[in-house]
Amino acid sequence: MSSTDKSNMRTPLSKVRGLGSAKDGTSHFWRTRLTALANIPLALFFIYFIASVAGKSYEDALAFIGNPFVAVTLLLFIISGVYHMKLGMQMIIEDYVSGEKSKILSLMLNVFFASAVGLACVFSIFKISFGA
The CATH number of whichever domain residue 94 belongs to comes to 1.20.1300.10
Reported as type and span, the H/E element at residue 89 is helix 68-96
Residue 93 lies in a domain: yes
Q: Indicate the number of domains in the chain.
A: 1
Residue 119 lies in a domain: yes
101-124 mean pLDDT: 97
Q: Is the pLDDT of residue 100 over 80?
A: yes
Residue 67 lies in a domain: yes
Residue 85 lies in a domain: yes
Residue 125 lies in a domain: yes
Residue 131 lies in a domain: yes
- Is the pTM value of this prediction over 0.85? no
Long-range pairs, 49-54, Cβ under 8 A, ≥24: 49/73, 49/74
**CA–CA dist 113, 96 (Å, integer):** 19
Q: Is the pLDDT of residue 125 over 70?
A: yes
Residue 117 lies in a domain: yes
